[in-house]
Amino acid sequence: MAILLDGKAMAAQLMADLQGRMDALRAQGISVGLAVVLVGDDPASQVYVRNKAKACQELGIYSETIRLPQETTQQELEALIDRLNQDDRFDGILVQLPLPRHLNEAAALRRILAEKDVDGFHIENAGKLFTGQNGVVACTPKGILHMLKAANVPLSGKEAVVIGRSNIVGKPVAMLLLNENCTVTLCHSRTADLAAHTRRADILVAAVGRPRFVTADMVKPGAAVVDVGINRVDGKVVGDVDFEAVERVAGYISPVPGGVGKMTIGMLMENTIEAAERKAR
Ligand code: NDP
């Protein structure tokens, strides 16, 4: 049976560590703030935003959620971002994605000051990751790497296969694994013979968005399997990996729920605290 990459326990440990960093900032009279912008009424986004506010509260981070109506214009959204950029109470600004379709996501993300971009989606931060410079790293990929390292999964020289090439998960996690000296293969919907790739993987990251897409026959015995997927099936949340079957083959496996999702919020908290620490320096 595979070792569980327990996101819940790892996130609890991370939150305890972050509490120590918050205490150190407080001792210097520094407060930390996060602004979350939510446009429209997407039900999943409402849940994510609520969980982010709850994590802020737990750590004593000042947070405000600014809710804008579905019909908000690009100009109105960018004017709000400009105000938040100037507002010293906020070390971090997060625009909850997806935005309503009439809005330009890339332009909105670019508008956030790179140093306040705690999601790591700003083109400057993405560019820094791709060129090996220090910048803000996107929360989900950062959380995935944190999980692998916390479980002491060997990375250097290993074969890593990522299924999914999105800007928010697939591409950045591939870069992080490359920086750890993995040999990385990025797969996507046009990949020919996907299973031939996944079966070579010592580390397999599934960020597809299809329920139970990765089956046991696609997994190399002993591999570390990280399931990023969040899919709703009959009112239940399931991942991209067929957990029951794959846990018998894999060496390590992250569950859904209780895996990567838990780490993502922890990493957002870390990025926000890091932004405040940077400002203090
Ligand atoms: P996207 O929809 O942006 O990307 C999905 C990727 O999967 C694409 O690159 C797509 O390929 C690829 N894909 C789709 N079908 C196949 C297939 N049959 N074979 C191989 N590849 C395929 O999703 P995201 O990256 O945003 O998210 C992925 C999943 O992770 C979702 O379930 C999402 O909800 C979840 N998620 C979870 C987070 C967390 O905190 N746990 C955070 C962010 C996302 P192509 O590019 O060719 O279309």
20 belongs to a structural domain: no
CA of 207 to the centre of ligand 1 (A): 4
Report the domain count for the chain: 2
Q: What is the mean pLDDT of the chain?
A: 97
Instruction: Report yes or no: 118 and 268 within 8 Å, Cβ to Cβ.
Output: yes
**Alpha helix (H) residue ranges in the chain:** 7-27, 43-59, 74-86, 105-111, 123-130, 139-150, 170-179, 194-198, 243-246, 260-280
Which of the residue ranges 43-47, 95-99, 172-176 would you say has the lowest mean pLDDT? Answer: 43-47
- pTM value is 0.96
Reported as a single tens digit per residue, the pLDDT across 96-119 is: 999 999 999 999 999 999 999 999
- Same domain assignment for residues 152 and 55: no
CA of 150 to the centre of ligand 1 (A): 24
182 belongs to a structural domain: yes
Q: So what's the pLDDT on residue 175?
A: 98
41 belongs to a structural domain: yes
Stretch 166-178: mean pLDDT, rounded? 97
Nearest to 114 by CA among 134, 100, 89: 134
- Same domain assignment for residues 96 and 172: no
- What residues does ligand 1 touch, defined as CB less than 6 Å away? 140, 163-166, 168-170, 187-191, 194, 207-210, 228-231, 260-261, 264
- 128 flagged as catalytic: no
pLDDT exceeds cutoff 90 at 281: no
Share of the chain above pLDDT 70, in %: 100
Reported as a single tens digit per residue, the pLDDT across 179-231 is: 999 999 999 999 999 999 999 999 999 999 999 999 999 999 999 999 999 99
- Same domain assignment for residues 102 and 151: no
Q: So what's the pLDDT on residue 164?
A: 98
In this structure, what DSSP letter does residue 116 have? Answer: G
- Same domain assignment for residues 195 and 242: yes
158: domain CATH number is 3.40.50.720
Stretch 159-166: mean pLDDT, rounded? 98
CA of 166 to the centre of ligand 1 (A): 6
Domain that holds residue 89: 29-115
- Same domain assignment for residues 109 and 199: no
281 belongs to a structural domain: no
43: domain CATH number is 3.40.50.10860
Share of the chain above pLDDT 90, in %: 99
Q: Residue 3 carries which side chain, given as an amino acid letter?
A: I
269 belongs to a structural domain: no
- 70 flagged as catalytic: no
Q: So what's the pLDDT on residue 20?
A: 98
- Nearest residue (by CA) to ligand 1, atom 28, is 207
Reported as a single tens digit per residue, the pLDDT across 73-89 is: 999 999 999 999 999 99
6 belongs to a structural domain: no
Neighbouring residues of 78: CB distance < 8 A, sequence distance ≥ 6: 107, 108, 111
- 13 flagged as catalytic: no
Stretch 150-173: mean pLDDT, rounded? 98
- Same domain assignment for residues 107 and 197: no
Q: So what's the pLDDT on residue 87?
A: 98
Q: So what's the pLDDT on residue 81?
A: 98
Place of tokens 């705690």: 118
